[in-house]
């Protein structure tokens, strides 16, 4: 099952320079049906163009530098996100065999 990092997390992505800060989850490309785990901006520069940010999947994270804020509000959001993105697998696990 998939578990994602919170907003504000700073990572190195395989084959990409510089480091990036996660700013969104489960992002759909505007010109296709492809869905990505994360949207991110260069760190420490931030968003340079509102039309351009990096989209990537969790498996491309090479190094984790910092985990974003984990207060009550963000933990509730991450819990809801976890159940939303894993709902099919969770339903299948509940079915009797």
Quote the CA–CA distance of 59 and 32 in Å, as a whole number. Answer: 21
- What are the tens digits of pLDDT across the range 58-85? 999 999 999 999 999 999 999 999 988 8
Tokens found for residue 3:
């578990």
pLDDT of residue 38: 95
Q: What is the pTM of this model?
A: 0.84
Quote the CA–CA distance of 6 and 22 in Å, as a whole number. Answer: 7
Going by the DSSP 8-state scheme, the letter that residue 58 receives in this structure is G
Quote the CA–CA distance of 15 and 93 in Å, as a whole number. Answer: 35
Quote the CA–CA distance of 80 and 97 in Å, as a whole number. Answer: 27
Lowest mean pLDDT among 2-6, 43-47, 70-74, 86-90: 86-90
pLDDT of residue 71: 95
């Amino acid at each position: 099952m998939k578990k994602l990092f919170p907003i504000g997390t700073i990572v190195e992505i395989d084959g990409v320079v510089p480091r990036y800060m996660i700013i969104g989850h489960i992002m759909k490309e505007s010109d296709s049906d492809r869905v990505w785990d994360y949207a991110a901006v260069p760190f420490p520069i931030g968003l340079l163009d509102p039309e351009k940010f990096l989209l990537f999947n969790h498996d491309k994270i090479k190094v984790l530098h910092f985990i974003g804020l984990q207060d009550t509000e963000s933990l509730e959001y991450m819990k809801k996100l976890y159940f939303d993105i894993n709902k099919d697998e969770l339903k299948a696990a509940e079915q009797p065999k």
